[in-house]
A and B are shown apart, each in its own frame.
Chain A
Amino acid sequence: MNSLTEKNFLIEKFTKYFLGFWAIFTGFIFPFTIFFILLYESRLAIKHFGIVHFLTSTDWDPVKESFGALPMIAGTLISTFIAILISAPVSIGIAIFVTEIAPRWLKGIVVSAIELLAAIPSIIYGMWGFLILAGVMRNKVEPFLQKIFGPIPIIGKFFAGTPTGVDVLTTSLVLSIMIIPFMASVVKDAFNLVPGVMKESAYGLGATKWEVIKDVVIPYTASGIAGGLILSTGRALGETMAVTFLAGNVPQVPTSLLQPFTTITVALANQFTEADTPLYLSSLFYLSLFLFAISFIILIIAKLMVLRIEKKWKK
């Protein structure tokens, strides 16, 4: 009897420490190892270019071994920003439709269908964008936009250039489709957390459905919506394959929506296998380090906002 207790006690201890080790590995060792490996591999570039110069120089020239990341960083930020700009209203619209309007049977179908958008691999988005959408953009949409916006003084500049279909606009459009499911799901969850009493009291005062949404639901869930926005920003920043197909991979800071450009992920995907000198490779690791740090910080902010909203209403 005693030895059985002892044996069980030992298994108990072992299980606890064994599982505990993997928990610490997954939540602590793993992210930090990634960070330190990237930091270690990029030491050469950090020493050579410093931080400020690397982030502000526009000169990316593997032949001269001069590496400035501004074109990639600007490209990443611009395409992400436009993608969020397109997908935010759509996602909020979808969340409103699903939580407030749709009949029960339709609700499930729409939610699942929008979730399926997230299940399509990013390479499929890229290939479809490159072989199908780019042609439509080049022949139909972009000339049309040029005709409308071209003559307007300041806005016209954003549509200057020859429509190629492989440019900032197409990339951002495809990115925006890819992040709709993430944003819509966070916003929908936030909308579902609004207490029914709040809505009912507004209806009791004679408000219409839209007024309830605008004046009760949206203000009440503002931080959830913001969390969703930031979460999808984090997603869009790191998107690789779709962007690689569509960006055109030209290291320049785009001044028009119809210009080809590059992003951090495009540079990594295209150049990692070509980097032949230590400094070149190290600069690419420096780029990945920057991408890792930026996405990690953005995701932390998103997480904190979503946690706050849950704490507030789950009580």
Chain B
Amino acid sequence: MEKITLLKRKIINKVMLFISFLAAVYGLFWLFWILGTLFVNGFKYINLTLFTQDSGPPGLNIGGLRQAFVGHFIITVLATIIGVPIGLFAGIYYAEYGKNSRFFQALRHTTDIMVSIPSIIMGAVMYALLVVPLNHFNALAGSIALAMLMIPVISVTTYEMLNLVPYTLREAAYAIGAYKWQMIKDIVLRSAKVGILTGVILGVARISGETAPLLFTSFNNHYLSFDLLKPMASLTVTIFDYAMSPYKYWHNQAWAASFCLTFFILFLFLIAKLLLHQKIQFFVKKSKKEEK
């Protein structure tokens, strides 16, 4: 009798562990299906035309996506220029000044919540703030909407990275009479710079793939444009339009563009992960040495 229950328990154990193994396989299955499809459908349509020509008229098998690549680059870079400093400033304050203040810790938690707020909301807000007053869609509104998405990401990661800097380093700076701003500039930021860079890369990766905030801010454009106050094409919105269209040629271009975009983002993600890994290892080693 006892032997049977033991056997039963052992079997249940094996079965349940196997099921959780299957769960991991299930997750990986989707990843490989999606990336595989992108590779198979996208890679073969990457050619020079894609990068050197503007969109052709619908239905004809000519044209590329130059305006979308250029527009996407401009919008993302501008968003990064606006978003990174603000996020950095806030993150530094949360970590260095607001550490013991309940008010600023509450603000930090709010920022953390803002990371997960639906991105389409930013689009709606910028539509009200910049598109309606100017009477037409413009690239600037799109950039600011993306910057608004980026600020919380940057400030949360900056805060976490600065927290990894050992407190003894700060005390050493104070001990030789440094002001707080000197300590932050020369000690904290210097030792956390790889971590902060990681945060920036993650932030760029996050906004590079966004479509929803651009739908009704920077809208779309079939021609190359550098005017920030005019509609500007972006890769994501163009992919959306092309994939929804009935033309095979446009579908193929959408796959090619998706391939470029996704693998660019995955590349950023992997770099960030690699940097982060090294950083954490570095501090773990350091604190172990200190303990000795």
> Which residues of B pack against A, CB within 8 Å?
9-10, 12-13, 16-17, 19-24, 26-28, 30-31, 34-35, 37-38, 86-87, 89-90, 92-94, 96-98, 104, 106-114, 116-125, 127-129, 148, 151-152, 155, 179-182, 184, 205, 208-212, 215-216, 219, 236, 239-240, 243-244, 251, 254-255, 258, 261-262, 265-266, 269, 273
Question: With A119-B205, A120-B34 given, can you name 8 additional A-B contacts, CB distance below 8 Å?
Answer: A27-B111, A41-B128, A96-B17, A117-B31, A120-B266, A240-B212, A288-B121, A299-B116
How many angstroms between the C-alpha atoms of A70 and B92 in the bound complex? 43
A241 touches B111 (CB 8 A): no
Between-chain CB contacts (< 8 Å), 23 pairs: A19-B89, A23-B155, A27-B106, A31-B114, A89-B23, A93-B26, A97-B20, A101-B17, A101-B20, A110-B28, A113-B28, A119-B209, A120-B31, A121-B261, A122-B209, A124-B258, A125-B34, A126-B240, A126-B243, A128-B38, A184-B27, A211-B9, A268-B120
* B183 CB → nearest A CB, Å: 10
**From B107, B119, B125, B240, contact of A23 by CB (8 A):** B107
**From A24, A208, A231, A307, contact of B13 by CB (8 A):** A208
* B147 CB → nearest A CB, Å: 11
A94 touches B261 (CB 8 A): no
**From B98, B180, B209, contact of A124 by CB (8 A):** B209
* B21 CB → nearest A CB, Å: 6
List of B residues within 8 angstroms of A126 by Cβ: 240, 243
How many angstroms between the C-alpha atoms of A199 and B184 in the bound complex? 42
* B286 CB → nearest A CB, Å: 21
List of A residues within 8 angstroms of B244 by Cβ: 130, 245
How many angstroms between the C-alpha atoms of A127 and B123 in the bound complex? 21
Q: Which 10 A-B pairs have the closest CB atoms?
A: A238-B118, A93-B23, A121-B209, A27-B107, A22-B89, A23-B93, A26-B90, A208-B13, A240-B212, A19-B93
Give the dominant DSSP class at A's interface: helix
How many angstroms between the C-alpha atoms of A22 and B34 in the bound complex? 40
Interface core residue of B35, B92, B111, B125 (most chain A CB under 10 Å) = B125
| Nearest residue, chain A, Cβ from B108 | A27
A128 touches B119 (CB 8 A): no
List of A residues within 8 angstroms of B209 by Cβ: 119-124
List of A residues within 8 angstroms of B86 by Cβ: 22, 25-26
> Which residues of A pack against B, CB within 8 Å?
8-9, 11-12, 15-16, 18-20, 22-28, 30-31, 33-34, 37-38, 40-41, 89-94, 96-98, 100-102, 110, 112-117, 119-128, 130-132, 177, 180, 184, 208-211, 213-214, 231, 234-235, 237-241, 244-245, 265, 268-269, 272-273, 284-285, 288, 291-292, 295-296, 299-300, 303, 307
* B144 CB → nearest A CB, Å: 12
* A110 CB → nearest B CB, Å: 5
| Nearest residue, chain A, Cβ from B109 | A303
Known: A120-B262, A269-B215. A97 touches B21 (CB 8 A): yes
List of B residues within 8 angstroms of A31 by Cβ: 110, 113-114
Interface core residue of B96, B127, B182 (most chain A CB under 10 Å) = B127
| Nearest residue, chain A, Cβ from B23 | A93
A235 touches B24 (CB 8 A): no
A127 touches B243 (CB 8 A): yes
How many angstroms between the C-alpha atoms of A119 and B208 in the bound complex? 10
How many angstroms between the C-alpha atoms of A241 and B87 in the bound complex? 26
A292 touches B117 (CB 8 A): yes
A93 touches B118 (CB 8 A): no
A94 touches B23 (CB 8 A): yes
**From B24, B89, B127, contact of A18 by CB (8 A):** B89
* A7 CB → nearest B CB, Å: 10
B17 touches A210 (CB 8 A): yes
* A142 CB → nearest B CB, Å: 18
**From A90, A92, A295, contact of B26 by CB (8 A):** A90
A98 touches B24 (CB 8 A): yes
B205 touches A295 (CB 8 A): no
A117 touches B27 (CB 8 A): yes
Known: A25-B90, A114-B27, A240-B212. A93 touches B20 (CB 8 A): yes
Known: A27-B111, A285-B124. A124 touches B34 (CB 8 A): yes
How many angstroms between the C-alpha atoms of A41 and B121 in the bound complex? 13
B27 touches A268 (CB 8 A): no
How many angstroms between the C-alpha atoms of A147 and B109 in the bound complex? 49
How many angstroms between the C-alpha atoms of A22 and B111 in the bound complex? 12
* A307 CB → nearest B CB, Å: 8
Known: A27-B107, A119-B265. A131 touches B251 (CB 8 A): yes
| Nearest residue, chain A, Cβ from B12 | A210
Interface core residue of B34, B38, B181, B254 (most chain A CB under 10 Å) = B34
How many angstroms between the C-alpha atoms of A242 and B239 in the bound complex? 12
B151 touches A26 (CB 8 A): yes
Known: A117-B30, A208-B10. A131 touches B243 (CB 8 A): yes
List of B residues within 8 angstroms of A273 by Cβ: 215-216, 219
B216 touches A303 (CB 8 A): no
A127 touches B127 (CB 8 A): no
List of A residues within 8 angstroms of B211 by Cβ: 121-123, 240-241
